[in-house]
A and B are shown apart, each in its own frame.
Chain A
């Protein structure tokens, strides 16, 4: 089908719909004054990202994204909001205190990500996917696990050590001081 002279495929429609939801939800996260609603919108954003992964032929990443980011991290954020019950009732100011600094940080992050993405070698090139729809080859679970345990084993282990340190640290902070101990 042609709209305004462009050929529109169903794949592109799905891409526009999903990325639209993702971007709008992401805007909501930073603009909605109610912090609980912002947290829920964050969940929606992450589901949208999972949808993009599905479109990019990476269903495993999509499932893991939902399991970890939506199922665990969003839940944790909501619980944290509950526990700090002062935050729940009062409006939560989302003002940007230093716009120049914020824009700079966002710009640097964007540039960094953009350069990395543009210079990476892709099994399914995103540009091809958007133009022609997904190729038939899935990025398999096996390929991911081989990558994690062979070339990337050091960063992978480093991340887990970091997580372990965070866990131990939070236990130490949360532990009540016993008198005489």
Chain B
């Protein structure tokens, strides 16, 4: 299982919202963090999040059980380790 942690602040809510649109992805919470989990890949479309440049490139708080294979102007993609 792969987990992507995103701090719950106003700028980041779009990331969790867009991630949750994938039926294979579950969005829960650990304290003030969104815990975005999936058995397979987690993919977040940047344009759908509405995040500006600086927010997009600093929205990831932690990654468990996986690694970032793409984090660019198009998408954030986390693959299982």
- Do these two chains interact? no
Residues of A within 8 A of B (CB): none
